[in-house]
Copies of this chain bind each other. A is one copy, B any other.
């Protein structure tokens, strides 16, 4: 049986849970590499993947005997089959943050077991990345870097934010990305002061800030990168603020390391320092993997110890509502003494003369 499923079973056992229904497709992909629609049932003796006729053949071709996963077509299953999937199980886990209420009720009716909330168990397994995962994230990051280099040459006065976002998308897909990891943010002028800006038809006019937040997926794994540049010659005030965010981002890069406590050793310092200077709208980072936002969230809410081979973002930002915003973000790999950047694009202030 594959190690990820073995780990899951081990954890369920520790929680005194005899089985689990995995519905979240990202968790199914993580545990089995299956990307078809369906659900994974894990009980004490076996693993089943229930899917529909469109996928049965493809999934069977993908799996090997070592996977120990039996594939069923929904339409071949009777009421009795469902009731027998978790024999002798007192508690069966389900993903309460993924399953909608109506589906939860259907699960109760079908399986006739006691369901307990187990969202987070697989998500916590996913936090530490193995070599293959780091390789895929690194590849997504390098496509992202190529995109930044390319787009700097492409941007012209008069282009809209939307046009630039489309060109970035097109570049990354052609460079081998499966997909974007999220909708690209291209925010110019005062739009850059909105942390989650959506590209508009506003044209690049020059003498303004341009913030680009973008990433792509490679074999399902995400990258995430933000750069803030100036179109034209940057005023001193902007330069000073840029310098501040950059030094903050580089300090974080050194602080994010194996064994560090996010709340007590990092977040409190960052937030208390920044509170005196600027408003903070968002956490200063998040886990990255098969999802663009994964565990952990980098903030001051609770104690959380970083571990080697976690992949997170390092993204402090400051925002002057109605004026401009500056955010610098890298995807980084947690190591013993510091973190290593996986996105490696230039972070020195770029003043783009067009």
A273 at the interface (CB under 8 A from B): no
Q: Number of copies of this chain in the oligomer? A: 2
Identify which of A13-21, A63-71, A96-104 touches chain B.
A96-104
A173 at the interface (CB under 8 A from B): yes
A203 at the interface (CB under 8 A from B): no
Cα separation A99 to B100 with both chains bound (whole Å): 5
A117 to chain B: which residues have CB within 8 Å? 101-102
Cα separation A119 to B117 with both chains bound (whole Å): 24
Cα separation A96 to B196 with both chains bound (whole Å): 28
- Counting contact residues on chain A (CB < 8 A from B), the size range is 20 to 34
Q: Are A100 and B102 in contact (CB under 8 A)?
A: no
Closest residue of chain B to A183, judged by CB?
B179
Cα separation A166 to B96 with both chains bound (whole Å): 36
A102 CB → nearest B CB, Å: 4
Q: Are B162 and A166 in contact (CB under 8 A)?
A: no
A166 to chain B: which residues have CB within 8 Å? 170, 173-174
A353 CB → nearest B CB, Å: 27
Known pairs A54-B194, A96-B101; list 18 more (Cβ under 8 Å). Answer: A53-B281, A54-B195, A54-B196, A54-B281, A96-B100, A96-B102, A97-B100, A97-B101, A98-B100, A99-B100, A99-B101, A100-B101, A101-B101, A101-B117, A102-B119, A162-B173, A166-B174, A170-B170
A residues at B contact (CB < 8 Å): 53-54, 94, 96-102, 104-105, 117, 119, 162, 166, 170, 173-174, 194-196, 281
List 28 interface pairs A-B (beta carbons < 8 Å), by A numbering.
A53-B281, A54-B194, A54-B195, A54-B196, A54-B281, A94-B101, A96-B100, A96-B101, A96-B102, A96-B105, A97-B100, A97-B101, A97-B102, A98-B100, A99-B100, A99-B101, A100-B100, A100-B101, A101-B101, A101-B104, A101-B117, A102-B117, A102-B119, A162-B173, A166-B170, A166-B173, A166-B174, A170-B170
